[in-house]
């Protein structure tokens, strides 16, 4: 009975953490890109129609990643979805508000070169996040000792 209570508590904690990380992802992606309008940031180019579903999918995939029971702690470092989330920020951001793009390409380059690339960055971002969720789901079965490497008894040769 105590293992069930501990398991329920662990599951509840994991889902609360997933929800909090979803909210954090929404804020990190939407506020600096001014998809969620705040007085902190402004946007020169209006939000394009496809940016809303990209943000929603980014948040949903981040929540899914954190909601899935992870593998043992030694394997977690290679599975974090941070790269996909950061790429989503560049994908949905205002093309002329990104100072790095403006310095590298200028205003006309930002609108002529960078803006058409952003939907492709969004697709790559969502593909990275989907791959991270799939990989975590596949490895979640190994979160118990059932997948621990078995040591084979060695027989001494005479």
**pLDDT over threshold 90, residue 101:** no
Spatial contact of 69 and 137, defined as CB atoms under 8 Å apart: no
Query: Residue 129: what pLDDT?
Result: 95
The model's pTM is 0.81
**pLDDT over threshold 60, residue 29:** yes
Ordered DSSP codes for 4-68: HHHHHHHHHHHHHHHHHHHHHHHHHHHTTTTSS--TT---SSPPPTTHHHHHHHHHHHHHHHHHS
Query: Residue 50: what pLDDT?
Result: 96
Q: Which band of pLDDT confidence, cut at 50, 70 and 90, is reported for residue 118?
A: very high
Q: Which band of pLDDT confidence, cut at 50, 70 and 90, is reported for residue 98?
A: confident
**pLDDT over threshold 90, residue 53:** yes
Other beta carbons within 10 Å of 75: 14
> pLDDT tens, 55-92?
999 999 999 999 998 766 655 554 568 889 999 999 99
Over range 117-133, report the average pLDDT: 95
Q: To the nearest whole number, what is the mean pLDDT of the chain? A: 84
Query: Residue 11: what pLDDT?
Result: 87
Query: Residue 88: what pLDDT?
Result: 94
Query: Residue 76: what pLDDT?
Result: 53
């Amino acid at each position: 009975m105590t293992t069930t209570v501990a398991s329920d508590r662990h599951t509840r904690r994991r889902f609360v953490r997933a929800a909090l990380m979803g909210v954090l992802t929404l804020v990190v992606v939407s506020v600096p890109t001014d998809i969620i309008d705040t007085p902190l940031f402004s946007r020169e180019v209006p939000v394009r129609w496809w940016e809303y579903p990209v943000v929603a999918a980014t948040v949903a995939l981040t929540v899914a990643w954190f909601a899935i029971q992870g593998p043992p702690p030694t394997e977690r470092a290679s599975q974090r979805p941070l790269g996909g989330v950061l790429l989503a920020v560049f994908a949905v951001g205002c093309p002329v508000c990104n100072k790095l793009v403006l310095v590298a390409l200028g205003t006309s380059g930002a609108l002529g070169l960078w803006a058409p690339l952003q939907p492709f960055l969004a697709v790559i971002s969502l593909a990275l996040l989907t791959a991270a969720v799939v990989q975590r789901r596949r490895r979640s079965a190994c979160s118990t000792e059932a997948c621990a490497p078995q040591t084979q008894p060695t027989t001494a040769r005479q």
